[in-house]
Homo-oligomer: A and B are copies of this chain.
Amino acid sequence: MSNLTSNEQIKYLVEAIESDREQDLRPMLAELHPVDTARLLESLTPEQRPAIWAEQSNADRGEILVEVSDGVREDLLQGMDNPELVNAIRDLDIDDIADLIPDLPDDVLADVLFTVDKEARAGLDEVLSYPEDTAGGLMNVDAVAVRENITTRVVIRYLRLKGEIPENTDKLFVVDRKGRLMGVLPVTLLLTSPADERVGRLVDREPISFRAMEPQDNVTGAFEKYNLVSAAVVDEQDRLLGRITIDDVVDVIRENADQSLMARAGLIDDEDIFAPVTKSAKSRALWLGVNLITAISASWVIGQFEETIEKLVALAVLMPIVASMGGNAGTQTLTIVIRGLSVGTISQANAWRVLKKELLVGSLNGLIWAFAVAVVATVWYHDYGLGIIIAMAMVINLIVSAMAGVGLPLLLQRLGIDPALAGGVALTTLTDVVGFFALLSLAAVFLM
Contacts and interface: CB of A to CB of B under 8 A. Distances in A.
A88 B228 CA distance: 24
Interface residues of A, number: 127
Contact of A227 (B167, B266, B432): B167
A1 B207 CA distance: 8
A345 interface: yes
Nearest to A329: B288
A347 B284 contact: no
A376 B299 CA distance: 11
A302 B320 contact: yes
A235 interface: no
B221 A5 contact: yes
A396 B267 CA distance: 23
Interface of A is mostly: helix
A369 interface: yes
B168 A192 contact: no
B320 A320 contact: yes
A320 B346 contact: no
A29 interface: no
Nearest to A211: B1
* Residue of A14, A167, A319 with most chain B CB atoms under a 10 A cut-off: A14
A218 B310 CA distance: 59
Contact of A6 (B7, B209, B271, B344): B344
Interface stretch (A73-81, A111-119, A257-265): A257-265
A65 interface: no
Interface of A: 1, 5-7, 10-12, 14-15, 18, 33, 35-36, 39, 42-45, 156, 159-160, 163, 165, 167-170, 187-188, 190-192, 208-210, 218, 221-227, 229, 246-247, 249-251, 253-254, 257-258, 260-262, 264-267, 271, 273-274, 277-278, 280-281, 284-285, 287-289, 291-292, 294-296, 298-299, 302-303, 306, 309-310, 313-314, 316-321, 323-325, 328-329, 331-332, 334-336, 339-340, 343-350, 353-354, 357, 360-361, 364-365, 368-369, 372-373, 376, 380, 432, 436
